[in-house]
Structure 1
Amino acid sequence: MEVLPSQSEVFLLSDAERTLVPAGPAIIDAEGNRYDVPPKALEALLFVETALREGLAVQVTALRHELPIREAAAAIGMAEDELRSYAASGALPFRSDESVDWVRLEHALAFRQQLKARQRAILDEMLAESDYDGTGR
């Protein structure tokens, strides 16, 4: 695993993913105490450990399951206006109260993945149509 400076990742575990697995992953401290962790949580711990080992600083922030659009945009690395326009077009579900538009974090993360998949597909299609052969010649 490689962690780049300013790389941001959001780890959100479903109810099922928060379940501990017998003889599954664990953190063992210097005194030999074992702290079981859900398998999916291990990904987050490895991300943090890798960044720290590479000499990077790490900021860990707990997020609510529902966020104002401004915070949701920051969490997924997107401009607030861009995320707001996707929500307004119906591409991303949201709800409004008197002064704030709210987005479920799981929906924002899924939407980001859809956008990335669409971008990869477009890039693959463009590369397939080009004369580029990957050899640099």
Structure 2
Amino acid sequence: MSTAPERPMKVLVYSDDADTRAQIKMAIGRRPAADLPKVEFVEIATQPAVVERLDRGDIDVMVVDAEAQPAGGLGVCRQAKDEVYDCPPVLAIIARRDDGWLATWSRADAVVSLPLDPMAVARAVADLMRRRVGDRLPAV
């Protein structure tokens, strides 16, 4: 019997490239871990649309493509962390391991480098989903 909450968790996937968004979604899967609810994906291709969607306050986890154009995912992450109240945790997908320092600057909560390892992506998203669930539990 599953102990996962019934409501799906919304995962925003930001990239200007539809193939990249599809690869990220495939790596995460419908349920990245048995103890978590299913995932509902929100695909977004532009920075203004990310800001608009985050302002709704219904996103649980955000995954950003550092190579997105014209607004890179790390800049989008930094803006969200600076401007969005209760910003969801963010997984940054970077092209080069050496870009890890940029991910730190962006205040990403987790980082995975290309080529995508589906296990690493699913594990990172699952950890961020658990963090989000924990953040929303009432204090005892």
Give the alignment's TM-score, normalised by structure 2: 0.28
Give the alignment's TM-score, normalised by structure 1: 0.28
Structure number with higher relative contact order (C-alpha < 8 Å, ≥ 6 residues apart) = 2
Higher normalized strand content (fraction of residues): 2
